Each structure stands twice: as C-alpha cells, then as structure tokens.
Chain A
C-alpha cells in the first residue's frame, strides 16, 4: 500500500494547497541535510535564521493578522534571552526545556502586562507605546547593572542540555551546527505548525476581522481588545522562545536587544518579506540575515543599502518579496493561459 506523505502531512497541517505542501517538504529535507553538505558557517547562518523564525512569525501575528505594529518586540527577545542566561548563570539550570518554558511564561506575563496597556491604542500610538516600554526596559537593564550586567551584558559559559543530553565535549561549532541545529529546527517546525493552525483557526479569522475593521468587528460581537491582547500574548511567547533559542547561539546578551533599532530589524524583516503572507516574514528574515551577512563584510554602509532596498520594495512592491513573487507567478500563469488559448 502506498502511503501518501502529502496527505499524511495535510492532516496535521491543514494546507489547502498541495503544491505548497510539497515545496515545504522539499525545504524541510534541504534543512535536514544542510549540516552535512553546506559549509559550516552557512549552517550557522541557517541556525540563526531558524531562531529568528519564531520571532518574526510571532511579531507578524500582531502586524499581519491583528494590524498592530509593535516597535518594541526586542523587549520579548530580551526577556527570553535574559531568562535563559539568568537560569544558567545563577541557578545552574542546564535543561533547555526548562529555559524555554520559563522564557515563554515570563514573556507571556510581560506580554499580558504590556499588552493590557498598549492595546488601547492603535497605529502610531501603539507603535510608540510598545517602543516606550522596550526603552524603559532598556534603561532598567542599564541602570540595574549589578543585576543585569549593565552595558557589558551577561555571558553564558556552560552549554544547555537538550532533552536531558549534554554535549559538553563537542567543539562548539559542531555542537551548534550538528546538534543544536536540529533541536532548533524541530522546535521551529512545531512552532510553525502551531502558528499556522492559529492563523487558520476560528481565532485567526476573528483576528483578521479585528485587523481589517475593528469597529465592524466590535459591532459583530467580537471583543476587539481581548483579541488584540490574546494576539499580543501569543506574539510575546513566540518572540520570547525565539530569544531563548537565539541566546544559545550568541552566548551573550546585552541591553541593546531592547533598543529600538533592534526591534526595527524585526519590523524590517517582516516588511521585506511581506506581512500579508504567512510565509512573508520567514522569507524576509532569511533574505535579511543572508544579505546582511554578505553585505556587512563589504561595507559599513550595509544598513543604508538594505534600507534603500526596503524603501524600493515598499514603494514598488508593497506586498514585500512574497507579494512580488505572487503577482509575478500570477502574471506567468496568465501569460501561459493566453498562449494556450491563442
């Protein structure tokens, strides 16, 4: 009996489009073999990208699905990072699962508190308020340096245990690119499936209604503030988990993570890829991280170059890279059809 993999996957992930599902499976297989065929540093860049996936999709649940632009998501990345670092340094915790759970819990609490105050506002006011919260945390991290390490930040000197297994004798790059890589990949896939299900759930439709027309949603019986708050908390949890995963790669955390420029990078990745698409921010993060790596070595003006690129995209391809790709493929299909009929 032939097992239809695509159908099997479709039962877990309710994709309508089987072509899309097969592309995903191919990408997943590439990701699986990458550590054994790609140069180590490329694998390392991929690992960094995987850590950013929860961050950008968490962020985009707010921007793309709820219509709220947070300019302070670095706050939750930092909460994830500092939580892990604190557990490792001060409490001798090695289990990364404990770190992830606590990072998620604290991010959720912080997301609830910050969200409660921010969701009263929309648009620029919401953005400014989230930014303000992040900057307050930034000042806190700098001022209470005896707790937080101040501007020097805090480093971690031990390695996490993954599912209870220690890998202390491995060379760090092997640990990161051959072991931790798969761990993050697995978590990323789980989080992606969860997020996909959230966005295609009953809740997801309501969120988009809230985004598209909060007044109408309100008059249609949807508690707009509550939906925004839920989205904010889920978004914070995702971002916090991303931070907790990322800090094992950077092995050091500094307050700069909560500075607005860092939050701006998350916004940048999402806009670059296209916030109207589930895959947009993921593609944005990938392109941004790879491009940044390439251009940064060439010129200190890499920010300017990427900034101009983004500006051009925003002006000429408002849907971001995904939007551009979609309209391009539509164009090609149309052309093909017109050939067939002529």
Chain B
C-alpha cells in the first residue's frame, strides 16, 4: 500500500500554473528528492500536501484517508510533518520549548491544563533526545529568534522530526547555508531520521550532488508539472532534465 497519493492536483495563482495536474504515488521507505528550478512549483506542492494552502482541484490521500479538505493539524495527527523553506520558528520561545511544543502535540498532551510540563519526564526525555540528535541541546535556553540562520533551519526541521511523522516534507532544509555546511546538514538529517526511525521523506533540494547521493527517488518539477520521476541514475541520464536543471543548452 502506498503511503500517500496525489491525484491530478492543481493550483493556479491567477495565470501562473504553480502546480498543474500533478499525480504522484509515495511509498514507505522512499527518500525522495523533489527538484526543479526556481518557480517550478515545489514549495506550492509541499504546501498543498501539508494543507497550508488550498488546492484548486485534485485529491490527496494519506494513510488510506482522503485528506484533501483536512486542516493542517489533522494531517499532522495522521503522521504528516513538514519544515519550511523560510525557516518557521517560534521567535520568542526557547529552543527547548519549541521542540517541546511538537513533543506535546505528538503525545496529545496539549489539553493538560494543570500539570507542570517541567515535571513531565516523558516529554523532557524526548525533547532532550531530539535536541541532542540535532546538536541543539547546548543552545536549548536560547530564544529561537536569537539563533543563527542555519540553526533556525535546523530547529524548524527538528520540530518536524519531533512529531515522529510517518512522512516528512522538508522544503529546502539547506537553503541559505554554505555549500560545506549543506553536506553536514544533510548528513545530520539523514542520520537523525535513521536514529528516530523515520523512513519516508520528501526533500526539496537544489544541490545536484546532494540530491543524487542521498535519495532513492527523484522527482523533477518544471513549470508546475512533473517532468521526470525515477531512480537517481535514470534521472541523471535524462537529457532534458539536465538541460533544465543545469541550464546546459546543447
């Protein structure tokens, strides 16, 4: 059974066909790279998937359920988590509390009005675990807004991982990070996901080298459409993809 399925998903912004009739099947254990030039519609696709924006037409199935019209938090409850291209943080929460919010959500403890979260060992143990995995634990008392850009991105990703989702959507987790750092960040994400047992994800990424070395499936988008979809080796051989992505004109 597939983990998720997009059927003829469309999203237009006026004349711009940001996502134009995309159909995809996503299976468990797939580490997908979603690639494509700027403006291809990658972020829009992620947003539609997560419920951030409404689609014009199409259908989204997740875990065997039609989630097309479910609000984001319900999709999250089903096991779908995401991070944002522009890092989404809780500016005036500490790093620690930011991750704790996700953990509480995961454990469905948000309606505990009267129990001290500081004394909740389960929550704090899990928070510590996630923060240590992302090497953010020593910055736990810093306000999120005070973090350097790279750490903000990492925190955003950590918050998504802290939900222990079945499928995670990461929108350019390495954007704005130097090329050397990029590799580190990617390795971190991959190792953490292994550690946490999160097997399926879609990563939006630009860097070709990274894309080809860390994923077992690549989806190429261009002008709202899926241009190519397949194993990395195959995509590499696709001349059109190479032309579009690398701007190489024959």
Direct contact of A and B (CB under 8 A): yes
Residues in A lying within 8 Å of B, measured CB to CB: 14, 16, 194, 197-198, 200-206, 208-209, 212-213, 215-224, 227, 230, 234, 276
Q: Which of B50, B52, B76 has the most CB of A within 10 A?
A: B76
Could you tell me if B114 and A201 are in contact, using CB atoms closer than 8 angstroms?
Answer: yes
Q: Which residues of A contact B52 (CB under 8 A)?
A: 215, 219
Within the complex, what minimum Cβ distance (angstroms) separates B24 from chain A?
20
| Chain A interface mostly | helix
Q: Which residues of A contact B11 (CB under 8 A)?
A: none
Q: Which residues of B contact A14 (CB under 8 A)?
A: 116, 118-119
Could you tell me if A205 and B101 are in contact, using CB atoms closer than 8 angstroms?
Answer: yes
Within the complex, what minimum Cβ distance (angstroms) separates A238 from chain B?
13
**The one of B73, B91, B111, B118 that contacts A224, using a Cβ cutoff of 8 Å:** B73
Q: Which residues of B contact A223 (CB under 8 A)?
A: 71, 73
Could you tell me if A220 and B163 are in contact, using CB atoms closer than 8 angstroms?
Answer: yes
Residue of A nearest to B114 (CB): A197
Report if B115 contacts A (CB, 8 A).
Answer: yes
Could you tell me if A208 and B114 are in contact, using CB atoms closer than 8 angstroms?
Answer: no
Could you tell me if B72 and A205 are in contact, using CB atoms closer than 8 angstroms?
Answer: no
Could you tell me if A201 and B117 are in contact, using CB atoms closer than 8 angstroms?
Answer: yes
Please judge, given known A-B contacts A206-B104, A209-B98, A220-B159, whether A200 and B93 are in contact too, CB under 8 Å.
Answer: no
Within the complex, what minimum Cβ distance (angstroms) separates A335 from chain B?
22
Could you tell me if B114 and A198 are in contact, using CB atoms closer than 8 angstroms?
Answer: yes
Q: Which residues of A contact B230 (CB under 8 A)?
A: none
Q: Which of A198, A213, A224, A230 has the most CB of B within 10 A?
A: A213
Report if B137 contacts A (CB, 8 A).
Answer: no
Could you tell me if B93 and A212 are in contact, using CB atoms closer than 8 angstroms?
Answer: yes
5 other contacts beyond A200-B117, A221-B81, with CB at 8 A cut-off? A16-B118, A201-B114, A212-B91, A216-B89, A219-B76
Q: Which residues of A contact B23 (CB under 8 A)?
A: none
Q: Which residues of A contact B90 (CB under 8 A)?
A: 208-209, 212-213, 216-217
**The one of B101, B160, B163 that contacts A209, using a Cβ cutoff of 8 Å:** B101
Would you give the 0/1 interface string for B98-137, flagging 1 where the beta carbon is closer than 8 Å to chain A? Answer: 1011101110011111111111100100000000000000
Could you tell me if B92 and A220 are in contact, using CB atoms closer than 8 angstroms?
Answer: no
Please judge, given known A-B contacts A205-B100, A224-B73, whether A219 and B116 are in contact too, CB under 8 Å.
Answer: no
Q: Which of A201, A202, A230 has the most CB of B within 10 A?
A: A202
Residue of B nearest to A213 (CB): B90
Please judge, given known A-B contacts A201-B112, A209-B90, A215-B88, whether A220 and B117 are in contact too, CB under 8 Å.
Answer: no
Could you tell me if B81 and A220 are in contact, using CB atoms closer than 8 angstroms?
Answer: yes
Residue of B nearest to A219 (CB): B72
Please, could you name 18 A-B residue pairs with CB atoms under 8 Å apart, sorted by A?
A: A197-B113, A197-B115, A201-B112, A201-B115, A202-B109, A202-B110, A202-B112, A203-B113, A205-B93, A212-B90, A216-B89, A216-B156, A216-B159, A217-B73, A218-B71, A220-B73, A220-B76, A224-B73
